[in-house]
Structure formats: structure tokens, C-alpha cells
């Protein structure tokens, strides 16, 4: 998911360079949403990992 955010960020930079403001704005908005979704999933994953702890050895 972070890879997709990076792709949309690069598309936004290239579109802004060539003067396509609407495309750049849309791509940067999508990249921002994907980044925050990735960040939320990372935090949830870390919390679950900490709460589960280690399993007992066999």
C-alpha cells in the first residue's frame, strides 16, 4: 500500500511539473489517503503484536 502511495505521489509531481493542476491535485489526494490508511494499519498491527505477546514454548 505504501508503494501505491509513492506511485501516486510521483504521478502528482510529474503532473504538476507539466502543468496539469487537476490531475496533480487528485493524485496527491489519493497518495495522502493511501499513506494515512497505511499508517493506521501499521499502528493497529503494532498494537496487536504487542498485546499478543510471545506464545509459550512447546
User: Each residue's pLDDT tens digit in the chain (58 positions)?
Assistant: 678 888 888 888 888 888 888 888 888 888 888 889 999 999 998 888 888 877 666 6
Confidence at residue 35, expressed as pLDDT on a 0 to 100 scale: 87
H or E element at residue 10: helix 2-18
Please tell me whether the overall predicted TM-score, pTM, comes out greater than 0.85 for this model. no
CA distance 10 to 42: 22
CA-based end-to-end distance of the chain: 35
Confidence at residue 13, expressed as pLDDT on a 0 to 100 scale: 86
Confidence at residue 25, expressed as pLDDT on a 0 to 100 scale: 85
Confidence at residue 56, expressed as pLDDT on a 0 to 100 scale: 62
Amino acid at each position: 500500500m505504501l508503494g501505491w502511495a509513492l506511485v501516486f505521489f510521483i504521478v502528482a509531481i510529474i503532473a504538476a511539473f507539466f502543468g496539469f493542476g487537476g490531475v496533480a491535485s487528485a493524485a496527491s489526494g489519493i497518495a495522502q489517503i493511501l499513506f494515512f490508511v497505511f499508517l493506521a494499519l501499521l499502528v493497529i498491527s503494532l498494537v496487536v503484536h504487542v498485546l499478543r505477546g510471545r506464545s509459550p514454548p512447546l
